[in-house]
Amino acid sequence: MPRKIKQFAATPGEWYHKITLPSVGVEPEEKLLKRVEPPFVKFCKFIYQTMPSLGQGATFDKKHKEAVDFLGWGLRPEELSAAGKFALFGSLILGVIVAIVIFVIPGLNELVSDLVGAQFVFVYTLFPFVIVAFFLTNFVQSYPTNAADLEKTKALTYVPEMVGYMIMSMKLVPNLEKAVEFSAMHGTGKIANDFKRLLWDVQLGVHTTVSEALDLLAYRWGKYSDEFKQALMRIRASVLENTEAKRYQLLDATMISILESIKNKMEQYARELSQPSVLLFYMGVLLPLILIIVLPVGSAFSGTAMATPLVLIILYNILIPGATLFFAHDVVMRRPPTQEIPKIPDGFPGLPKKNTMILGKMQFDIRLAVAAILVIGIVGSVFISNQGIPPRILIEEEAFQLLPHDKGLEEVMAKEGKTADWYDNDGPYFQQLKLKYGEEQANAKFQAEKIKFFLQPENDITPYALSFGLLLTLVGAASFFIYYSSIYKRMAQLDILKMESEFKDSLYILASRLGENKPVEEALKHTRSFLPDFKISQRVFGKTIENIELLGMPLHAAVFDSNYGSMRNLPSKTIQTGMKIMVDSVKLGVNVAARTLISLSLQLRNSEKVNQTLKVLISDTTSMMSSMAIFIAPIVLGITTALQKVVMLTLSTISTSNLDKTLAAIGDTTSSVPLSMPTGFSFGGEGLVSPLEFLLIVGLYVIQLVIIMTYFTTKIQEDNNLLFYINLAKSLPIAIAVFLAAVILSGVMVGGFFGG
């Protein structure tokens, strides 16, 4: 009897100390038995095993050694050195091989020579591989330190979470081993894995005590997160306090210190965003504007192929977008992960079938709607291209049109009283010039006059209306598909996020009822009735009660059963973790559960504060970048498109004038001074880019830039792919419409488009 009385008189702390948490038992140990190396480490080991001579004699510097030790990689300096040298030599050797192949094969050599100029074949062939070799080598050598820095950034989120769980456990019972175990079970990220490894090492005898292991962990993390090191020291010191009040005071001060440190680092991150934002503007907007002025002028006066379609495609649609995306991705990767957004799978309950949209009470296939948009848009574009707005068939011939139709070659040449083949390369005008000046001089004058003629607004045969219509149609169809493929998942995601917010509030009510010594079923019932408008009340608490009362399931099964549990089809880490803590703590008694849930609620509120702090701090930057992506960049690039035509017209006028003076000086002889246009100074083929080609190149670049900028602004605000798709679907049509409007208005202002 005395033994039974003593058993029932045990304190909640003693009960808690005796509980063995199942999640930090066999499963973590089994995972730790087999080390899974990252792909980068596997790559380095493979290169060293294949070519060991590349890594002989290599050593780590202090920074690399600290990074590799911190990450726990089994990477040796010889392996990293071998991978870096392989990236360098491999890229250069590949470039040399490509250059040799181009020189050896006659047809390929002539093709590249026509595209970039014979004197620049070697430069255009080998130079990209030199750039790639430089970046690849730097990427390989700096990968370990960058990975360690990335973990440091992630620690801004994981540290408050892990320290919060440790403090929660320490307030229940001052036992370091239980606190580490509790944090390892419910935490995420590298710190949680390190905690699990710490427990495993203690059990194996690598460390004699948890305190000793915590000291080593604290100093290993101290190089990357000093606040985490200080927090572990304070938590260790709290065990030595002789009263519960002093222990609570020290633990609370630790949490406050952690949050203040994280807030300061968030502010620093937000301040540092201003410079990357400016650089993105320079790279994505100002650089294309400068290039379109420099390239044609440089091409005309240097005699090099600098403004051909191929060169502009490489610059505008490959190099600049690639560099901009790489830079934006690098900035986004350094963003502290403040919240884990729920991921909605395709078969999530409540979603329509894949590729299906809801209109009223009916469902339609998105692909059919996209096909309809494409058909209507293409037919409408062709009609407007032929008829204009208002249509020519409904108005008099000389009446004003808001949007003129696209002029054809025969129409333009008829107004000039010339045949349609007048400016063909073997047409009548060229034959006349050939008889008068000789073939070389005739070709130079013919190309200059041809460019000048078709660049005149009244003679422009570029199908602007058709191009604008097709561009809007394709972008509209793509945006429609992206939007309706994502909006229903986004709505489900918002519902879950709302439940997460409600869950934080409902924990207070649930903990209050448990604190009154009520059974967990009664506490859940009261919370459901007290908060009837909360989705969490019916979706989780109500379902849990039904499983207990109607199906007779125990609490753990009622919540986590794979077929009937209340957490089934609820992909929320916050709610999953909270309910698991509730289920585990109830085993220790309702009073312990009440105190645990109160601590959990405070922990979740602290995490929410960190997330909101970052959003507020970066709101100015995201607003500015969104405006730039949707309005500023398309307007500037639209003006750039108009300027390209002005530059080309100016160059052709100057060139024609110089040719006329030269021809007048040499007379009608066919054997005197050789005369030629600058390399590539013609439209089409290997010549300068035509207005239509440039419009399409820049239009594609606008689409790429909007994708990159939307990715940047969305990801630094919230790491959420669904939100990125929704924002992209909304931004892309607006940006393209603004771009086309800017092209038209700026073209009209400088006399470049829709001339009479």
Q: Which string of DSSP letters, residue by residue, matches 91-126?
A: HHHHHHHHHHHHHHSHHHHHHHHHHH-GGGHHHHHH
Among residues of the chain, what percentage have pLDDT more than 70?
A: 86
CA–CA separation, 250 vs 12, rounded Å? 22
Residues 716 and 580 both lie in one domain: no
Tokens at 561, concatenated: 């059963």
Mean pLDDT for the stretch of residues 546-556: 91
Asked, for residue 8, whether it belongs to a domain, the answer is: no
Residues 572 and 718 both lie in one domain: no
pLDDT of residue 205: 85
Asked, for residue 726, whether it belongs to a domain, the answer is: yes
Question: Of 221, 250, 270, which residue is a domain's last?
Answer: 270
Residues 198 and 111 both lie in one domain: yes
**Quick check: 703 pLDDT over 90?**
yes
Asked, for residue 55, whether it belongs to a domain, the answer is: yes
Residue with tokens 């058993």: 7
pLDDT confidence bin for 304, thresholds 50/70/90: low
Residues 248 and 183 both lie in one domain: yes
Cβ neighbours for 465, distance < 8 A, ≥ 6 positions apart = 381, 384, 385, 388, 403, 404, 405, 406
Asked, for residue 9, whether it belongs to a domain, the answer is: no
Q: Environment class of residue 113 by beta-carbon count within 10 Å: exposed (0-12), middle (13-18) or buried (19+)?
A: middle
pLDDT confidence bin for 492, thresholds 50/70/90: very high
**Quick check: 14 pLDDT over 50?**
no
CA–CA separation, 271 vs 266, rounded Å? 9
Q: In total, how many domains does the chain have? A: 3
User: Interhelix angle for 121-172 vs 189-204, to 10°?
Assistant: 60
**Model pLDDT for residues 97-149, shown as the tens digit of each residue:** 887 777 777 666 666 665 555 555 666 677 778 888 888 899 899 999 988 88
Residues 581 and 657 both lie in one domain: no
**Model pLDDT for residues 52-93, shown as the tens digit of each residue:** 888 888 888 888 888 888 888 888 899 999 999 999 888 888
| More confident: 603 or 387 | 387
User: Interhelix angle for 464-515 vs 691-717, to 10°?
Assistant: 10
| More confident: 440 or 656 | 440
Residues 377 and 448 both lie in one domain: yes
Q: Environment class of residue 77 by beta-carbon count within 10 Å: exposed (0-12), middle (13-18) or buried (19+)?
A: middle
**Quick check: 487 pLDDT over 90?**
yes
Asked, for residue 408, whether it belongs to a domain, the answer is: yes
Residues 444 and 538 both lie in one domain: no
pLDDT of residue 35: 60
Residues 178 and 248 both lie in one domain: yes
Residues 282 and 345 both lie in one domain: yes
Question: Of 562, 584, 605, which residue is a domain's last?
Answer: 605
Asked, for residue 5, whether it belongs to a domain, the answer is: no
Residues 298 and 248 both lie in one domain: no
Residues 60 and 93 both lie in one domain: yes
**Quick check: 382 pLDDT over 50?**
yes
Asked, for residue 482, whether it belongs to a domain, the answer is: yes
**Quick check: 253 pLDDT over 50?**
yes
Residues 240 and 296 both lie in one domain: no
pLDDT confidence bin for 700, thresholds 50/70/90: very high
pLDDT confidence bin for 707, thresholds 50/70/90: very high
Asked, for residue 4, whether it belongs to a domain, the answer is: no
Question: Of 270, 289, 314, which residue is a domain's last?
Answer: 270
Domain residues for 568? 495-605
**Model pLDDT for residues 592-609, shown as the tens digit of each residue:** 888 888 888 887 887 777
